[in-house]
Amino acid sequence: MKKRRRKPEITKIAGTVKRGLLACGIAALLLCFSFPAVAQPQCEAKNNAFKSGEHVMYDLYFNWKFIWKKVGLASLTTNATTYQNKPAYRFNLLSISSKQADFFFKMRDTLTCVVSEKLEPRYFRKGAEEGKRYTVDEARFSFHDGLCYVNQKRVRHDGEIIETEQSDSRCIFDMLSILAQARSYDPKDYYIGQKINFPMATGRRVEEQTLIYRGKKNIEANNDTTYRCLVFSLVEYKKGKEKEVITFYITDDMNHLPVRLDMFLNFGSAKAFLRSVRGYRHPQTSIISK
């Protein structure tokens, strides 16, 4: 078994979330609200959006030569738990392709995240089977000396282990812990074109992510319901040019539930549509028609 460990560093790295895009794209639906830059990380926040028992299901589609084909399902669940003997929340995101779709591209992604009652990131794990590749990423978060630290470990299918430690003066998030905080923020003061930046642990390093607010749009989900949605784009920059990675739509109410996402892949495009939701906390005031 090969094992590599990289030296600790303070990182602000431009990057992308293309790896495991179908899974992290679901989480990215909720990465929509900025956190003010401060002298030291302020990771605590009040939960105003969700409660234990929330369960959201999605239909996944892929485009083959102008034909949209359903390829699988995804589920996002929220439950109360304990972590290091303290009350916490656990989020689980599962994406799985159908047997028919496995012939073209097999996907079995399982993401688990734990945050404190005050929504501070504590632990993250991602097991991703995508095609012939299988990796496991883990991240553990801590706070001291005015910095946020994240220890990350990636185990590859060949047994190689890569371990890193990064730090930042801001709060570092993973793909799921950021949604826990983001859903409680109020975007009413956003203007179209506004850019939102945040650092995120991606398995081997901390990458700088950029979201752009696009405005509002009515979107029909796969539960025969039309929602008034906020529209955001996750973008990357290469050679000074902006490239759309994901366009996503979340309900314009206090739940901030993800309704749809459009993903632009190197080998095509994919979409995820809300199929069902239960256990949500607030009235769904964003519903236009049913």
pLDDT level of residue 181 (50, 70, 90 thresholds): confident
Q: What pLDDT is attached to residue 29?
A: 53
242 within 8 A of 16, measured Cβ to Cβ? no
9-10/161-168 β-pairing: parallel
Higher-confidence position of 242 and 3: 242
Q: Is the pLDDT of residue 34 over 50?
A: no
Least confident of 146-155, 192-201, 211-220, 251-260: 192-201
Q: Rounded to whole angstroms, how far apart are CA atoms 190 and 183?
A: 15
Closest CA to 220 of 208, 231, 210, 229: 229
Mean pLDDT for 160-176 is 91
Give me the residue spans of the domains in the chain: 3-289
Mean pLDDT for 262-269 is 74
Closest CA to 230 of 30, 35, 38: 30
Q: What pLDDT is attached to residue 175?
A: 80
Phi, psi of 253 (to 5 degrees): -150, -175
Taking only the tens place, the pLDDT of each residue in 46-96 is: 999 999 999 999 999 988 777 788 889 999 999 999 999 999 999 999 988
Mean pLDDT for 235-241 is 82
Q: What pLDDT is attached to residue 24?
A: 56
Structure tokens that stand for 281 in this block:
């906390």
Phi, psi of 157 (to 5 degrees): -65, -25
Q: What pLDDT is attached to residue 7?
A: 41
Q: Is the pLDDT of residue 15 over 70?
A: no
Q: Rounded to whole angstroms, how far apart are CA atoms 114 and 109?
A: 17
Mean pLDDT for 259-286 is 89
What share of the chain has pLDDT > 70, as a percent? 82
User: Would you call 240 exposed, middle or buried from its count of C-beta atoms within 10 A (0-12, 13-18, 19+)?
Assistant: exposed
Q: Is the pLDDT of residue 278 over 80?
A: yes
User: Would you call 280 exposed, middle or buried from its count of C-beta atoms within 10 A (0-12, 13-18, 19+)?
Assistant: buried
Mean pLDDT for 218-235 is 93
Q: Rounded to whole angstroms, how far apart are CA atoms 260 and 67?
A: 18
Mean pLDDT for 141-161 is 91
pLDDT level of residue 209 (50, 70, 90 thresholds): confident
